[in-house]
Amino acid sequence: MIYLDHSATTKPDSAVMQTFIQANERYYANPASLHQMGTEANTLLMKAREQIAQILKTEPEHIIFTSGGTESNNFAIKGFARANQHRGKHILISAIEHPSVIESARHLTNEGFELEFIDVDKNGSVKLSDLQSKIRKDTVLVSIMHVNNEMGAIQPILEMAKIIRSNSRAFFHVDAVQSFGKLPVQFQGDNGPDALTISGHKINGLKGTGLLAFSKRIKIQPIQHGGGQELGYRSGTVAVPQNVALAKAMRLAVEQMAENTPKFEKWREDLHAFFNKFYHVHVISNNGGAPHIISCSVRGLKGEVVVNALQSEGFIVSTSSACSSKDSSISHVIEALQIEESFEKGVIRISLGNGLTNSDIEQFKVVFAKMMKQLKGETIQL
């Protein structure tokens, strides 16, 4: 099986697993414990925090470990909005956010917040003019994903930050789950986001790991209460081995970027050109997007049918996103892009990651072409 679904989840790197195993053997104590073993575990945890802070260009005390991207997004949105409602109760997010952002923001409307969506263009890019017209003095929170998980669009974070800063006192949260390790992700003081969400399992780290990072000290209300771990922001016994493994995965991801990015970009451009040859295929992603996500649709077919056909030939791709792929209706992202109706249901996503070779991509093209011939009767010159 050739795995082309790295945006859904990835296999942990063997070095990350090794780190995890070693940390478990020696540093299993509770880092909140006062004894030597607890102190040692805490020192290791602090080291992981420092390494991550360096990567993201912030301070160690601004890194809050969580159970993953979903928790980080829930925490950022509910936690910040609730703690700062005196500033205003208006929230802006894009129409193509991850469900964990959309559902959290929607939930806040039950608490008296007002939610508006910023439109995207047909490339999936947030319309800056729409942000400009919707941002208000009482906007308390803007949350935008850096890279869209279903079709790879990269959002203009710095331009957005400028508009947000000059028109409001809003907090700017960026869900960087799909971009970290694929694009440079760092804080830039006041010129960039105030908070970033990162998940371990999308970058060859472990499932159940993630973080929310801040550029500076901010006021945020915990969503999980108890022992007051993580500087009081997130209660629950801190999983030291997991967090050390997250620091390792993040370091590796950043190191591997130099090698991966040109490779992924070449494959992406190649696949875009390949898909464009088919009359019955509509290419949704574009060469301006993230290097690892390619999305297209086959006319008149269901995504599941395409996924199964490719799988029977040994290639694993997904329908739009794993989180919503059990839902047979059309994804909210595809809906926001307003693509032609005959292409709405046949969307597949190919997402690249570690371990792939040129020949895997060549093989994929052969298999896809064969499928197109069988299912749509369309043949192209390979």
Partner 1 sequence: MKEIYLDHAATSPMHPEVIEKMTELMGSVYGNASSIHSIGRHARKYLDDAKMVLAQSIGAKDQEIIMTSGGSEADNLAIFGTAYARRNEGRHIITSQIEHHAVLHTCERLEKQGFKVTYLPVNAQGVVSVQDVQQALTDDTILVTIMYGNNEVGSIQPIKEIGSLLKKHKATFHTDAVQAYGIEKFDVEDLQVDLLSVSAHKLNGPKGIGFLYQRENTPLQSTLLGGEQERKRRAGTENIPAICAFAEAVRIAQANFEVKQQEFVSFQELFLNTLDQAKISYHVNGDRANTLPHVLNISFTGMDVESFLVNLDMAGIAASSGSACTAGLIDPSHVLVAMYGKGAPELRNSIRFSFGFGLSLEDVQVAADKTVEIVERLAK
Given 92, 170, 238, 369, the residue binding partner 1 (CB under 8 A): 238
Element (DSSP H or E) covering residue 367: helix 358-376
Site for partner 1 in 18-37 (CB under 8 A): 20-21, 24, 28-30, 32-37
Residues with active-site annotation: 323
Contacts with partner 1, 323-342, as mask; x by CB under 8 A:
xxxxx---------------
Question: CB–CB of 177/152 below 8 Å?
Answer: no
Cα gap 146→291, rounded to integer Å = 13
* Number of separate helices (H) and strands (E) present in the chain: 11, 12
**Closest approach of partner 1 to the CB of residue 320, in Å:** 11
Token representation of residue 205? 């780290």
| Six-digit token string for 373 | 């011939």
Q: Rule CB under 8 A: is residue 189 a binding residue for partner 1?
A: no
H/E segment holding residue 94:
strand 90-94
Output 131 or 203, the one with its CB closest to partner 1: 203
Identity of the residue, 18 or 129, whose beta carbon is nearer to partner 1 in the bound complex: 18
12 in contact with partner 1 (CB under 8 A): yes
Q: Using the minimum distance from each CB to partner 1, give the nearer residue, 32 or 273.
A: 32
Q: Which of 50, 57, 163, 208 binds partner 1 (CB under 8 A)?
A: 208
What is d(CA 234, CA 119) in angstroms, rounded to the nearest whole number?
Answer: 33
User: Is 253 among the residues that bind partner 1 (CB under 8 A)?
Assistant: no
Q: What share of the chain is helix, strand, coil (3-state, %, to 5)?
A: 45, 15, 40
Is position 302 an interface residue for partner 1 (rule: CB under 8 A)?
A: no
311 is an interface residue for partner 1 by CB under 8 A: yes
Q: What own/partner pairs with CB < 8 Å and gap ≥ 24 does 221-226 have?
A: 221/78, 221/79, 221/80, 221/82, 221/83, 222/75, 222/79, 223/71, 223/74, 223/75, 223/78, 223/79, 224/71, 224/75
291 scored as a contact of partner 1 (CB under 8 A): no
Position 298 contacts partner 1 (CB under 8 A): no
How many residues line the site for partner 1 (CB under 8 A)? 74
3 binds partner 1 (CB under 8 A): yes
Residue among 13 and 130 whose Cβ is closer to partner 1? 13
Element at 16 (helix H, strand E)? helix 14-26
Q: How far is the CB of 108 from partner 1 (least distance, A)?
A: 10
Residue 307 lies near partner 1 (rule: CB under 8 A):
yes
Please pick, from the candidates 81, 157, 161, 223, the single residue that binds partner 1 as defined by CB under 8 A: 223
User: What's the closest the beta carbon of residue 102 comes to partner 1, in angstroms?
Assistant: 8
Nearer to partner 1, 37 or 330 (CB): 37
81-120: contacts with partner 1 (CB under 8 A)? 98-101, 103-104, 106-107
CB atoms within 10 A of CB 272: 16
* CA–CA separation, 1 and 77 (whole Å): 38
